[in-house]
Amino acid sequence: MKKSDQLVCLCIFAGFICLIYISTSTPRYQMFSYRVPFIETVINPTNSTEDSNEIRGYDEVVDGKPMPEYLKTLVAANKLSAGLFDKFSEVNVMTVYEFPDHYSVVLAIETTIGKTLYCRYSGTDGKEIADPVPSVVYPGFVVYCSRRNGTTIVGVTKTATTPLNTKNTKIPIKRLFKSHLKHLTYCLAPIFGDEPKWLLFAEMIEHYKLQGVEKFFIYIRKISDYDLKIVESYRKSGEVEIIDVPPAYDDVIKQQLMAVADCHLRNKKYSKWTIFSDIDERLIMTDSNKTIAQFLKEPKDENIGAFVFPQRWILKKAQMPEFYQDEHQVLERMPTLQWHETSAPAIKGHKSCTSERNCWGKLIIENEKVIRISVHEVDKLYPNYREEFLDPKIGYIRHYRDVEMQSWARNNWNLLTGFGAFSNTSYPKNFGDVLARNVVERVKSVYG
């Protein structure tokens, strides 16, 4: 065989192998197996210095003024760092946010508040433009980095000499707005689990749109291709932003805490208020003539930095349908229309809530007043601000909780009945009719 013929055969064979690879490779969101791809490129550190009038670390004076309250918490957190055990060998940066006076770096690693790490600064050519600066992890998953002139890429590393790469660096997302772009946004806890999500998701989005939410931030770790179609439809309409949750670990609680930290920073300077909740929770005002957005715009005590909505669990006794069939199916299976058996409100301070300060309530926070939050409470606010636990006569959560998942109802029945007797309640009709129509139209446009 001639060399030219051999070359042709080799090219055909290589093309055949590529086709096999493409046909069998994992799609962007394969059924419950999504993983973030990573290709590493190494950037060698340099030892350049920069303008001496820039701050050199988190524990110095900023612009000649006393240290801001947030930085004081970093100094306090630094005292916790001695003898910490870390479960990571390399830092994985999830996101970097650029604010007027600093960068906030969100980590996708398991580490501890108070752990010392190093802020790194690079220019457009990938070369470092400043010496590494020590900082500490605070709040959870977050490292504060002071600003450096000429920075286009920010990284965080375990040591001052660790090589930089695409895993431990990111281009900052700018949060430099002079005023908020939105009044009310929504952060969804990371999507996971085997139960079909398409109908739950559509109902959740349409419910909160009626409540005045202007933008949704959706965190995804695992989702089916079928469910992703409805999420993508909202992304294409500009209502939803999708954030991939890095595969740092499989613990769903830690995933949620990482997403909470990221979404809080994502909304600082962008939105005045942000709701944090799960896909099966519907925060609502008890006065059905009022929306959440209207409530937040009412005159209130300016010292309030967050509202906690109390839980009322509604027993969801069947899983959601796997596929769309028709409009009748949607109206029959929407949780807000199908389920009514409702617990009494879980009130803060109740004897059943000794291990939960806010009795599993969920938050709406004013982003600029809050430093650190977890799933159910604000852990730290700026001075003079506080969280307000709402009286259920003002607002509460309609939580359509699957009774079979992890034997939830059986394991928690005594706790649930400890709050009082169950009763039958309904989603407000003045919102319900519009909600049903909007959900039907959306899912039909995607799956019909």
Give CA separation, 65 vs 60, 111, 174, in Å. 10, 31, 24
Per-residue pLDDT of the chain (448 residues), as tens digits, is: 544 454 444 444 444 334 333 333 333 333 233 323 323 333 333 333 333 333 334 333 333 334 466 666 766 665 554 444 566 778 999 999 999 989 999 999 878 888 889 999 999 999 999 999 999 898 889 999 999 989 999 999 999 999 999 999 999 999 999 999 999 999 999 998 899 999 999 999 999 999 999 999 999 999 999 999 999 999 999 999 999 988 776 778 888 999 999 999 999 999 999 999 999 999 999 999 999 999 999 999 999 999 999 999 999 999 999 999 999 999 999 999 999 999 999 999 898 887 788 999 999 999 999 999 999 999 999 989 999 999 999 999 999 999 988 889 999 999 999 999 999 999 999 999 999 999 999 999 999 9
The reported pLDDT for the residue numbered 112 is 83
- Alpha-helical (H) ranges within 25-156 are 69-78
Cβ-contact 75, 58 below 8 angstroms:
yes
The bridge status of strand 395-402 relative to strand 311-316 is parallel
With CA atoms as reference, report the closest residue to 167 among 91, 220, 98: 91
Question: pLDDT digits over 122-131, tens only?
Answer: 999 999 999 9
Helices (H) and strands (E) in the chain, counts: 10, 24
The reported pLDDT for the residue numbered 38 is 29
What 3 state SS string does 146-196 have?
Answer: ECCCCCCEEEEECCCCCCEECCCEECCEECCCCCCCEEEEEEEEEECCCCC
Non-local (6+) Cβ contacts of 270 within 8 A are 175, 177, 180, 181, 182, 185, 367
Bridge partners of residue 142, in order along the sequence:
106
- Edge-to-edge strand list for the sheet holding 215-220: 240-244, 215-220, 182-191, 271-277, 362-366, 304-309, 386-389
The reported pLDDT for the residue numbered 79 is 56
Bridge partners of residue 184, in order along the sequence:
273
Pairwise CA distance, residues 280 & 422, whole Å = 19
